[in-house]
Structure 1
Amino acid sequence: MKKQAKKVESKKATALPKALKVKKDLDKGSCKEWTEKTNALLEELAAAKVNSLSHCDDDEKGCGCGGHGGSTSSGAKTDLIVLIDTSGSMGTSANAISDAVSVAIEEAKNSCNPDLEITFLGVDGIWPGTVFTQSHRDYIVGLHGTVPLAGDRPPSGYSTELGANAIEDLSKYAKWRKDACRAIFYISDEELDGSSPRNDFAQETAETNAAIASANANNVTVFAHHLTYQNLHVNILENYKDLCHDTGGEVYFSSTPNMEEYIKLLTEVICNACGVDRCKEADLSKIEPCISIKWGDSDCDCIESSDYEVMTITVCNCFTNLKFSNFKISMIEVLDTDGNAVPTLPNGTPSVKIHPIGVYCFGDIEPCSCVSREFVIINEGAKEGKYQIKLRGVCFGITKMEETEACFSFTICKD
């Protein structure tokens, strides 16, 4: 017990915002105002947490709209493929990227400190003297042998420009690490299905949609830099936007590539490999909130057998056209890795406890917003190993936000 008491004393106290220390603030304010102040405080505390609990479901990617589970958090395992069109006009970009890589990686370390594995590939070709020394085809064959590739199906144009096909194949066949954020960054000045034939909009859209489907099926976020100096048709630019936005990534447009630009773009891509924070219109076939749990004041913090940790639970509404009404979590329960009750102490109490166990009320969560609450996990001689935190009775209503107009006719009679 003395050891535990010492541990408690060593915990850093959480400072309240200055606004809440002023006595006059305690003497006035409506219920709504106090709710807003509390939510702002908890949002600030949640943002300060540096560690995120992983989901029990390995396929769960997390939030994509600011809930601390979408964009790459500090130390996140990140697999990135930088893929470039190897047609003759892309040499300048290949050299600029090669010059930018080392600086961009250092800036990403300072910004988000990822556990990064980065691979540089050319679309059915290479750029000698640059980082692009292997084609995407040779890379896949080296991993899997000869397999059917999207770039080989008819109709096909110049193979070195078939970016959508390469993204489709790499999403499926690349060597992605378990639990890593997966991303592809594609650079080209051409249509996503190549320049031959030019402006084949229906075919290009079909190939783009196939790449989107493959990326989403394999949890890959796609980013792209399209060089605009050829002034290609707006439909081509829209396909680039769809490819990136529909997979959680971002597209960048500019006319002249340079080292400084690629330092910025590569850093952004690395630190957003888990997906760019973005709200979207709700698909009413599957409506659910994004919930994340964060803890810790530094990367070195760990949860010890005799310890306590203040954790923040954040619920995000990632939809533009819905409100989650009267959101509540009825109980928070801790279990062992097999889903059973945790071992008890000699006095019969659990060795790992949650306080309070519930009920956690979040109120209404408006479109494109998040609300946080706090709880404490208390360990008293807990056994080393993995545990689960279960959220029981997650209840909420759904209000669809719509705008409409009405028109009525009337007749003026003749005098």
Structure 2
Amino acid sequence: MHVVPKELSPERVLFRGDNLYIMEQLVKDGYKGKFDLIYFDGPFNSGMIFSMPNDKLGVNLINPWDELAGVRHYLDSQLFMKDYLKRIQLARELLSETGLFVLQIYQKEGHYVKVMLDQEFGRHNFLAEIIWKMENNPRPFHSQFGLSHECLFVYSQTNNYLKKDGLLVPSVWDDIGIYETLGDENTFYPSQKPEKLMERIIEMSTEERALIGDFYCGSGSFLIAAEKLNRRWIASDNSQLAIKVTKERLAGIGIAVEEHLVVDHFDNSLVHSDTYNKQSNIPFSLFELKELHTAIGDKVKNINAIKFSSDIDLFTDASITFNYTMPLIDDKGISEQEVVLVPRPKPRLGNDGIYLDVQDPYRWILYQIQHVEFDKNTNQYLFDWDALQLRIQQLIDSIGNQWIDEIQHGAEYTIIKDVFGNYYSI
């Protein structure tokens, strides 16, 4: 693995991708023990499907692998804890001797996560459980029992953490804003946190110019607060939409950031006949494609991967079909027991301008939209195949051939965003 673009700013770095690989790469690249604060506003394992509403199309959008992972974690909390622990352990490697780790969660998994944090950091390094009042009107939780707070668990790496003279942080925060009153900050990104909450976390635990990290950055509230408080930061999110929203918010305060990826080197063992079959959650990239072509020429005609980076479209030396490897979705539901290949649309330049060549509109739409709903009353997932078919047909009719939502012309190449928020280059 390595980072592209390779050069990282000493002031601010934004990654897109799975934070597991990103934090592993940061450890390898010399950031071990360098962070003064790491904040996790990670998955709460609430059961809710965190899709993104698309008002133009009238549907919710989600990657099927993310949807499936959310369901599996909710049905098997041990799997959720196991995956989360890997990331907590990497965060601890990155944390300095004087650094603090802050994890935000709510009560469904909170107590189990605290025990895990006690085991990882040591009970003697537990500093605080802070209650943030996040709703004035409690959300339903169980029958007559509502939910109106989230917890922040604060841990130190050692006893030599930063102690601020004259500062006494209360354990209940009901004075800094709630979800319902984001006002002008509101990006309508799910679970967006108030900037004032982020500011208090940063101010209580660091000094100016400290290096701080947020590897579930979502809409970017933590980074906006970091900029206002003169902290250096490294952040990431797995969602392309989260990165887009974050970059737009930063641009709104005059900060331009470059998006970085962690990518793989070409692996010859993944070549089978004329197919390169990649199962990693690290996106197949132009870097990997160029190495492949240098090593074996134009032998490979099909590349199957879970994720692709948009720069692969810039490779024009060979005719290659890119296929997403996706979990099977049929009338029985969504399952990883069998996978299917979904052709990736190709950007093309025609007589009338740029267009997207979508080989199989039905299948492409099927693998872009939300498939299951979480019923809070029964704590079960609902799957309605007939309703899904109707929705797909409506989208086929409404989209027609207008797959492109936005075109951005750059100096070297053009970026295309399709109606589902996927990016391509030409």
TM-score, length of structure 1 as denominator length: 0.25
Greater share of residues in strand:
2
